[in-house]
Structure 1
Amino acid sequence: MHVKKGDTVQVIAGSEKGKVGEVLRTFPETSKVLIKGVNVKTKHVKPQQEGESGQITTIEFPIHSSNVMLYSTKQKVASRICYTFNSDGRKVRMLKKTGEVID
């Protein structure tokens, strides 16, 4: 996958289009990502014990990784990535539009 945990991404498709958030978790087997503040749904939780009241909680649900692009917080622009080698000979991810190295 082109995104990793901790990356800042922008949603480029769907009902949440245009939102920017941080990747909290990745699911490589299904190619989905969990982004902070994106695709938030409400869930009704039943009371577990007697005398306890039920709750309505809000949680983020994963979206497909093809619907997100890496986002440069300095330039405020979304960009595709390319893989290059740095001066140490290590393979790193770089934003194509800005030339900013991510790793």
Structure 2
Amino acid sequence: MAEQFMMLFWILGSVLHIIVHIIAGISFLGVIYFAYLLYKETDKGWYWISLFLSALSFASAEWFTIIFPMGRRDFPISQTLSDLANISGAILFAVSCYGLYKTMHYIRKRVE
């Protein structure tokens, strides 16, 4: 009985894990869409493209986890791909924030 309970608990945990990653992946698709809208609506600066690519990278990290589950030994590289996507997403997001900062700093100097 205890083994069945533990097995059921493990299955529910795995399903919940996958559902959370699917929700996160779909949320990042929304971020990608709005970053693209910002790019089209504003000055088409390079930092908007960087924001778009960072969101795409974060989303791909989530989708790597969904497509290649961590428990599968057939795909040992999936965790590495997910980590690399997270790292590149963070770097691209930092570049985008720097571009936004630089642009806002320039605008503030022009206004003063």
| Shared fold, TM over 0.5 | no
Higher fraction of strand:
1
Higher fraction of helix:
2
Greater relative contact order structure (CA < 8 Å, 6+ sep): 2
Q: Under a length normalisation based on structure 2, what TM-score does the superposition of the two structures give? A: 0.20
Larger Rg: 2
Q: Under a length normalisation based on structure 1, what TM-score does the superposition of the two structures give? A: 0.21
